[in-house]
């Protein structure tokens, strides 16, 4: 065990956490390493909570989270750095005619009050609600912004543990509706406008698209290594923020 902590001081930065944040940080790490050949950066995509937990326990130096810290977590003496904003897009199957929902409709759908597409202007088919698992940063952010609590989530909701899975489900099921981070949205699914606001980075930045949350990096107060700090600095730099943007997220600058 002691060996590995030595090496982390030597030139290795361990980062772990959110699967939404992970991919963009990975790219940052790649770019960072091009400039700093002697530093290696390990990016673990294990989930926001696990990342935070790892940071508290010292398994990782830096944690990634796609949600705000919980009080308990804050108490553990973590320092957070916001590195990006992420919009959460509501997605439906390509064949679905519904292109826009109000935020209340979204809420009602997720709470199980609206169960048929016909109620929101679509075909007469049931709505298959897809959600992330409890504990997911994306889910936390989504619920908070849409305005319902975990226990209110319709019980029949499909739970999936990754944006990719949600996308696959929605792509394969014309009744399905799910939500994923902007970074994962592509042509295989429709992304809905909320209250007639298109899910774009500009709209998020402008505060018009409300379903969004911050990407943060955390580290234990006072233990951040030089390399770790320079990595975070790199992400916050213009070059880093460009990468953030290129992946469909919103730069904090």
Partner 1 sequence: MRKLKENILKLLVYLSVLFTISTLVLIVGYIFIKGIKGINLSFLFSDYSASGDGGILPMIITTLYTVALSILIATPIGVLSAIYLQEYAKKGKIVTCIRFATESLAGIPSIIYGLFGGIFFVVTLGMKYSILSGSLTVAIIILPVIIRTTEEALKTVPQAYREASLALGSTKFQTLYKVTLPSAIPGILSGIILSVGRVIGESAAILLTAGTVAQMPGGIFDSARTLTVHAYLLTKENGDIQGAASIGIVLIVIVLLLNTMARLVAKKLNKANC
Partner 2 sequence: MLVKSRLVGTKHRDNNNNNKNKYVIEKLAKNIFMISAFISVISLLLIIGFVFYKGLTPFVLKGYSFIDFLAGTEWVPSADKFGILSMITASIISTLGALIIGVPVGILTAAFISEIAPKQVAKIMSPAVELLAGIPSVLYGVFGLSFLVPNIQKIFNLPKGQSLITIIIVLAIMMLPTIISVAETAIRAVPNAYKEGSLALGASKIETIFKVVLPSAKSGILAAVILGVGRALGETMAVILVAGNSPIMPTSLTDSVRPLTTNIAIEMGYAFGTHQEMLFTTGVVLFTFILILNLVLNKLSSKAVD
Ligand X SMILES: O=P([O-])([O-])[O-]
How many residues touch ligand X under the rule CB under 6 A: the total is 10
Sequence-distant (≥ 6) Cβ neighbours of residue 154 within 8 angstroms: 109, 110, 111, 112, 115, 129
Binding span for ligand X by CB under 6 A among 23-31, 107-115, 132-140, 241-249: 132-140
Sequence-distant (≥ 6) Cβ neighbours of residue 61 within 8 angstroms: 8, 13, 14, 15, 55, 219, 223, 224, 225, 228
Instruction: Of 29, 9, 17, 6, give the one whose Cα is nearest residue 232.
Output: 29
Residue of 6, 30, 82, 133 that binds partner 2 (CB under 8 A): 133
Tell me the closest approach of the beta carbon of residue 39 to partner 2, in angstroms. Answer: 26
Residue of 8, 16, 20, 93 that binds ligand X (CB under 6 A): 20
Q: Taking CB under 6 A as the rule, which mask of x and - marks residues 50-79 in contact with ligand X? A: ----------------x-------------
Residue 5's binding partner among partner 2, ligand X, partner 1, none (Cβ under 5 to 8 angstroms by kind) is: partner 1
Residue 30's binding partner among partner 2, partner 1, ligand X, none (Cβ under 5 to 8 angstroms by kind) is: partner 1
How many residues touch partner 2 under the rule CB under 8 A: the total is 36
What residues make contact with partner 1 under the rule CB under 8 A? 1-5, 7, 14, 16, 19, 22-23, 26-27, 29-30, 40, 42-46, 57, 59-60, 161-168, 171, 184, 188
Query: What burial letters (b/e) apply to 201-220, b meaning 16+ CB within 10 Å?
Result: bebbbeeebbbbbbbbbbbb
Tell me the closest approach of the beta carbon of residue 138 to ligand X, in angstroms. Answer: 3
DSSP H helical ranges for the chain = 2-10, 22-35, 48-57, 71-75, 103-111, 137-146, 163-172, 201-205, 226-236, 238-246
For residue 42, what are its two tokens? 């390990």
- 44 or 251: whose CB is closer to partner 1? 44
């Amino acid at each position: 065990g002691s060996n590995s902590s030595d090496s982390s001081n030597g030139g290795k930065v361990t980062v772990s956490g959110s699967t939404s944040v992970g991919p963009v940080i990975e790219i940052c790490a790649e770019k960072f390493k091009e400039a700093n050949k002697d530093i290696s950066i390990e990016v673990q995509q294990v989930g926001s909570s696990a990342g935070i937990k790892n940071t508290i326990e010292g398994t990782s130096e830096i944690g990634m989270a796609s949600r705000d810290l919980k009080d308990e977590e804050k108490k553990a003496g973590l320092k957070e750095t916001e590195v990006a904003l992420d919009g959460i897009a509501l997605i439906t199957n390509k064949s679905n005619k519904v292109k826009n929902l109000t935020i209340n409709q979204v809420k009602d759908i997720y709470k199980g009050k609206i169960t048929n597409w016909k109620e929101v202007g679509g075909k007469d088919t049931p709505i298959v609600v897809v959600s992330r698992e409890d504990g997911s940063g994306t889910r936390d952010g989504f619920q908070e912004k849409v305005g319902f609590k975990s226990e209110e989530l319709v019980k029949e909701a499909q739970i999936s543990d990754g944006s990719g899975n949600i996308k696959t489900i929605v792509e394969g099921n014309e009744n399905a509706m799910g939500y994923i981070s902007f970074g994962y949205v592509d042509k295989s699914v429709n992304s809905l406008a909320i209250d007639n606001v298109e899910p774009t980075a500009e709209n998020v930045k402008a505060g018009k698209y409300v379903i969004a949350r911050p990407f943060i990096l955390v580290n234990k107060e006072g233990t951040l290594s030089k390399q770790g700090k320079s990595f975070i600095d790199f992400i916050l730099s213009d070059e880093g923020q460009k990468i953030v943007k290129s992946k469909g997220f919103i730069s904090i600058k």
